[in-house]
C-alpha cells in the first residue's frame, strides 16, 4: 500500500515485483464488475481509491495463490481497511512518527493506540524501540487485545559479534527496520511450519488454526528458545515489554537483507558530474533520518579512494 512512484502497479507485488499490466487490468475489471453487479441500489458508489486497491490486492493474492502476503496498513491501523484479516500469522509495528494527525490524533500516544489496533488474539506482535509513553500504549493495547507484544533486539544482537549484516537499504535507521523484518520472518516461518504439520493450507487457505503449542501466553512454537531479559528503559508500570530472542539469521535472510532495494528510498543516482540523493521522507522523523543518511553518504562520497 506504499504510495507508488511511477505506476500504480507498484502497490501490489508478487515475489518483489509489481504485477504485470495484464494482471493488473485483469483483476481490476474482475473486482470492479463484481462490485458493480452486487452494489447496494441505495449506496451505489464504489469504494474509495485505497479501499478498492486493498480489495483488489486481496483478490490478487488469493487468485495467484501466494504463500505469504505482507499487508501494509494505509493509515493508522485500528480503523484502516486493511485491518480485516482475523488471524494473521504475525504483526509488526515499526518506529512511530507524527503523521495523518487529522485522522490518527496529534500525539504519539494517540497514534500508538491506532497502531495497536492491528493486534489480534493469540497472534505475536513485535515492535522496535519506541518512546516510553507510546510503548506503554502499545503494551496496553496488546493486553487489551489478548496478544503478547515483544521488543525486537537491536540488529547487533543478530550479528552476534561475528559479522556485520550488510543492508541493501542505506541509513542507520534501516537497522531497526531490518531487526523487525528478521523477527517477523522467523516467526512466520516457524508458525507456518507448525500449521503445515497440522494441515494448514497457505495464504487464504481454509484452515485458520494456530500452531500446536501456540497461544496468547506462548505465541512461539516449542523449541524457539526462552525470552531474554527486558532491556533497560522498558520496565513500564511493573509490566515489562519482553525482549524477543535473537537468533542467527539463515543465509537466505542475510541475502535478503543485502539485496533489498526500494526505489526512491535512500537511493543514490549518479548522473555524470552530478549525484542525486533521493528519499521519499515526508514526516519530521523521516526527514531527520533522511538528513542523517545524506550527510553520511555525502561524506563517504567525498572521501578519497585509495
Pair (21, 139) in one structural domain? no
Domain of residue 289: give its range: 264-306
Cα-based distances in Å from 29 to 26, 53, 56, 208? 6, 12, 10, 29
Pair (83, 154) in one structural domain? yes
Pair (85, 200) in one structural domain? yes
Residue 197: what pLDDT? 55
Domain boundary (41, 66, 91) is at 66
Residues 6+ positions from 202 with CB-CB distance below 8 Å: 65, 66, 67
Pair (42, 119) in one structural domain? no
Pair (299, 153) in one structural domain? no
Residue 60: what pLDDT? 98
Residue 163: what pLDDT? 76
Pair (86, 228) in one structural domain? yes
Pair (120, 229) in one structural domain? yes
| SS3 of the chain | CCCCCCCHHHHCEECCEECCHHHHHHHHHHHHHHHHHHCCCCCCCCCCHHHHHHHHHHHHHHHCCCCCCCCCCCCCCCCCCCCCCCCCCCEEECCCCCCCHHHHCCCHHHHHHHHHHHCCCCCCEEECCCCHHHHHHHHHHHHHCCCCEEECCCHHHHHCCCCCCCCCCCCCHHHHHHHHHHHHHHHHHHHHHHHHHCCCCCCCCCCCCCCCCCCCCCCCCCCCCCCECCCCCCCCCCCCCCECCCCCCCHHHHHHHHHCCCCCCCEEEEECCEEEEECCCCCHHHHHHHHHHHHHHHHHHHCCCC
Give just the sign of the alpha carbon dihedral 4, 9, 11, 13: negative
Residue 238: what pLDDT? 60
Residues 6+ positions from 246 with CB-CB distance below 8 Å: 153, 157, 158, 160, 228
Rounded Cα distance between 91 and 123, Å, is: 7
Q: In b/e form, how buried is each residue of 124-152, taking b as 16+ CB within 10 angstroms?
A: bbbbbebeeebbbbbbbbbeebebbbbbb
Pair (43, 95) in one structural domain? no
Residues 6+ positions from 89 with CB-CB distance below 8 Å: 123, 187, 188, 191, 192
Answer yes or no: are the C-beta atoms of 20 and 32 closer than 8 Å. Answer: no
Pair (78, 60) in one structural domain? no
How many domains, in total, are found in the chain?
3
Pair (58, 109) in one structural domain? no
Residue 168: what pLDDT? 93
Give the predicted TM-score (pTM) of the model: 0.83
CB atoms within 10 A of CB 194: 19
Domain boundary (66, 90, 123) is at 66
Pair (249, 271) in one structural domain? no
Give just the sign of the alpha carbon dihedral 283, 285, 291, 294: negative
What residues in the chain have per-residue pLDDT under 70? 1, 161-162, 195-239, 302-306
Domain boundary (26, 50, 66) is at 66
Which single residue is written with the C-alpha cell 526462552? 226
- pLDDT digits over 232-269, tens only? 555 566 657 899 999 999 999 999 999 999 888 899 99
Answer yes or no: are the C-beta atoms of 111 and 130 closer than 8 Å. Answer: no
Pair (86, 220) in one structural domain? yes
Amino acid at each position: 500500500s506504499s504510495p507508488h512512484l511511477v505506476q500504480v502497479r507498484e502497490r501490489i507485488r508478487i515475489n518483489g515485483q509489481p504485477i504485470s499490466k495484464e494482471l493488473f487490468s485483469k483483476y481490476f475489471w474482475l473486482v470492479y464488475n463484481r462490485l458493480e453487479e452486487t452494489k447496494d441500489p441505495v449506496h451505489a458508489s464504489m469504494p474509495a481509491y485505497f479501499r478498492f486497491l486493498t480489495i483488489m490486492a486481496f483478490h490478487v493474492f488469493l487468485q495467484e495463490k501466494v504463500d505469504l502476503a505482507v499487508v501494509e496498513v494505509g493509515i493508522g491501523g485500528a480503523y484502516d481497511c486493511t485491518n480485516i484479516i482475523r488471524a494473521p500469522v504475525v504483526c509488526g509495528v515499526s518506529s512511530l512518527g507524527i503523521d495523518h494527525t487529522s485522522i490518527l490524533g496529534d500525539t504519539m500516544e494517540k497514534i500508538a493506540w491506532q497502531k495497536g489496533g492491528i493486534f489480534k488474539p493469540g497472534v505475536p506482535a513485535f515492535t522496535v524501540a519506541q518512546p516510553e509513553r507510546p510503548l506503554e500504549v502499545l503494551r496496553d493495547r496488546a493486553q487489551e487485545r489478548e496478544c503478547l507484544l515483544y521488543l525486537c533486539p537491536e540488529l547487533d544482537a543478530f550479528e552476534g559479534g561475528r559479522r556485520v549484516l550488510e543492508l541493501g537499504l542505506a541509513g542507520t535507521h534501516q537497522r531497526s527496520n531490518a531487526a523487525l523484518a528478521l523477527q517477523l520472518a522467523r516467526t512466520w516461518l516457524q508458525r507456518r511450519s507448525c500449521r503445515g504439520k497440522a494441515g494448514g493450507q497457505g495464504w487464504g487457505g481454509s484452515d485458520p488454526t494456530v500452531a500446536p503449542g501456540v497461544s496468547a501466553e506462548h505465541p512461539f512454537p516449542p523449541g524457539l528458545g526462552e525470552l531474554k531479559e527486558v532491556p533497560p528503559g522498558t520496565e513500564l508500570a511493573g509490566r515489562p515489554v519482553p525482549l524477543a530472542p535473537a537468533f542467527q539469521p539463515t543465509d537466505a535472510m542475510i541475502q535478503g537483507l543485502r539485496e533489498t532495494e526500494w526505489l526512491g528510498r535512500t537511493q543514490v543516482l549518479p548522473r555524470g558530474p552530478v549525484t542525486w540523493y533521493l528519499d521519499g521522507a515526508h514526516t519530521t522523523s523521516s526527514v531527520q533520518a533522511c538528513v542523517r543518511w545524506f550527510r553520511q553518504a555525502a561524506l563517504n562520497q567525498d572521501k578519497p579512494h585509495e
